[in-house]
Structure 1
Amino acid sequence: MGLLHDGEWDPDATRGQYDHDTFDAAVGPGTDHPPAAGRYHLYVSRACPWAHRVALVRRLCGLEDAVSVDVVDPVRNDRGWEFTPAKDGCTPESTHGFDTLYEVFRWADPTYTGRVTVPILYDTATDAVVQEESADIARTLATAFDGYATTDRDLYPERLRDAIDAAIDDVHASINTAVYRAGFADSQADYDDAVAELFDALERWDDRLADRRYAVGDRLTLADVFLFPTLYRFDAVYHTHFMCNRRRLVDYDHLWPYARDVYATPGVAATCDMDHVTAHYYRSHEDLHPTGIVPVGPDADWTASQNRAALSTAAPDAA
């Protein structure tokens, strides 16, 4: 995997080998990092589901002009995340001209020790990595940058925050991370436990979405932003690559139309890049897939009609 140790890149280091430094500063009025258009910069991967949720918030809130973004190469190698602008959908590193993401971390903290991850929120005025936890960044973008949004979409309304947070916690524990616990399980028992929890949760959410359009009722919120990236990747990578193959997303009566409904939301499709997704998983995880061959399928029609709009009038906002 590789990580930084006292500011030096160690390509052979593994998760947990060193204590992990964190970047978790607050962004808001009266802090060291006040909101301002053009001041903050995102580093994302189109392949990574955690970065995808941040890209979704940026796009859905209309923050493209306020918060800039760089996109790393989907394939992570022994130098970690790299910038390869010659590849489709990738960009150069625009703040300093670096070739790798670890150089950004090291610039922000020359003695940093820990993993070099996406997404990160970077303050160009102070040359600081402000936040590295995707949930924190998503909430920050959805709340602290209201004055710079070009849409009126409120993804985190105060009256629904308890319900949204509860849904996010459930989805994170039983779906978002369960696919990884299955894919990287070290034993049959760990794999079996992860798969059982995952498909129990998918069945539960399939039932829940039978009579409500979105995760907490009749409007798109951060709960949907956190669920959708895993569903988008499910059949293409998690079903096969991570052996989560009890059922496919397309086999669910309500989850599959729900995922297509979210995909049809203006701006969402622009954040989706299945070529980056499959290239990353099948070419970066050599221990799971040493050949690096990227499967050609499946052929899922994400633009097929789903007839879920009527549920917005049938179901009120609910927990």
Structure 2
Amino acid sequence: MTEETKGEEKREEKPGFFKRLVSGLTKTRNNIVAGMESIFSGFSQIDEEFYEELEELLIMGDLGVTATYDLLEDLKKKVKERHIKEPAQCRELLIESLKEQMGGEADYAFESRRSVVLVIGVNGVGKTTTIGKLAGQLRRQNKKVVLAAADTFRAAAGEQLSEWARRADAELIAGQDGSDPAAVIYDAVAAAKSRKADVLICDTAGRLHNKKNLMEELRKINRIIDREYPDAFRETLVVLDAATGQNALQQAKEFSEVADVTGIILTKMDGTAKGGIAIAIQSELGIPVKYIGVGESIEDLQKFDADLFIKALFDTGKAE
């Protein structure tokens, strides 16, 4: 497939995903944006009460205190600099500030380099399913993918990953339930090197209730990769359930304390009223959201596009 063909394929996929994203963000839109619209249209002047109403709405919409404060400070600055008088004119300014706060494009260098991707996350967030979808997408790019079933303490995790490996046409390296995760990683690294895999994706445990054990386990895993595969590009992704809102933000903070987290994957974005957490995470932690999930199919895991996200969040029913 030529680069031009790939570009055409990407352009063709975008509208379909945009519609799914608009649909998936319905509850979040109703929770946040509908309230904003009533504030923009309900106030006759821009005063402290106007800003206080916006502040309460943004915090309740799971944007978090830090992101909300930064947004409102930026909005106030723009209102003053541009001599804005009408509350309704603040709508576009707020959208502009949101886009700025979401930052630039995330880096996906691991896709084009020989890489090891560690994926961590607590039980129930959709970690193993997400790994399977990611593997499937990489295989569609004709990448050779090896999966490591190193979440050996969760019942049936290996079995679930095995099914995804079959669906994605990826190779699987697994150990026995309860075996040492670092030993599985050691075997997986050896397999990835000998089979000249493009990407090794490691399903690792995420038992945050015992951070000391998790930290030691991740240290062991990282030591093995550093020693056995020093040339591999490294990526560490944390999978979070968007529907848990501020709890997801707290998990991201705690994981970033025990691992060098390079990106976030937000699952279950469809059907949640707490999609604003994507903004909070990037604003408060400075860790890019790299993927979002808005459904069950492989195509429903997509690279996070801040402009597309904000556009879908404020969509008025005229989806392209």
Which one has a larger percent strand, Structure 1 or Structure 2? 2
Which one has a larger percent helix, Structure 1 or Structure 2? 2
Structure number with greater CO (CA < 8 Å, separation at least 6) is: 2
Q: Which has the larger radius of gyration?
A: 2
TM-score (norm. length: structure 1): 0.27
TM-score (norm. length: structure 2): 0.27
